[in-house]
Amino acid sequence: MPSHTFSVNGESVTVDAPDDMPLLWVLRDLLGVRGPKYGCGIDVCKACTSHLDGQAVNPCVVPVSDAEGRDVTTIEGLADGDRLHPVQEAWLAQDVAQCGYCQPGQIMAAVALLRRTENPSDEDIDAIANVCRCGTYFRIREAIKKAASMMR
Ligand code: FES
Ligand code: FES
């Protein structure tokens, strides 16, 4: 079984797994990192959104071999110790979550968007396309705008 070494939330990890095992499986089942959620497994719902070298990816369709030597960040790695990321603060302030299932992915997608765009438009935000079956889209939009103003 090949072994793969990469960083997860700032810590180096080595796992034995087939090259083509999805990174989401490795995170959740082998490493116990369960913030990224499993929804569809086919790059549609985006519940699993995490970052690879700071870019939003959907690890259900990223083979673990692609993570070799790279930095994986999940929702667990977003806060700085006890200090929440501004996007997390904004999420709480706007009381975004309902059932919560999609929310780690929504927040990770929002953080990646705000890295690319300081002042995102409604169209930029809607382009994230993470699915929320509870329909929290309006509050997500408000929270991203609030976070953008906090980060400027
Ligand atoms: S689980 Fe749906 S995109 Fe990854
Ligand atoms: S908060 Fe329930 S799926 Fe989004």
* pLDDT one-digit tens code per residue, 124-139: 999 999 999 999 999 9
Output the CA 136–ligand 2 centroid distance in Å: 7
Supply the DSSP string of 30-97, one letter for each residue. IS---SSPPS-SSSSS-TT-EEETTEEE-GGGSBGGGGTTSEEE-GGGSSBTTB--HHHHHHHHTT--
pTM score, whole prediction = 0.98
Instruction: Please state whether 135 falls in left (phi above 0), alpha (psi between -120 and 50) or beta.
Output: left
Contact 34, 50 (CB under 8 A): no
Closest atom of ligand 1 to CA, residue 49: 4
Regions of the chain with pLDDT less than 50: none
Q: Does the beta carbon of 23 sit less than 6 angstroms from any atom of ligand 2?
A: no
- Give residues (CB < 6 A) around ligand 1: 38-41, 43-48, 58, 60
Using a 6 Å cutoff on CB, does residue 97 contact ligand 2? yes
Report pLDDT for 76: 98
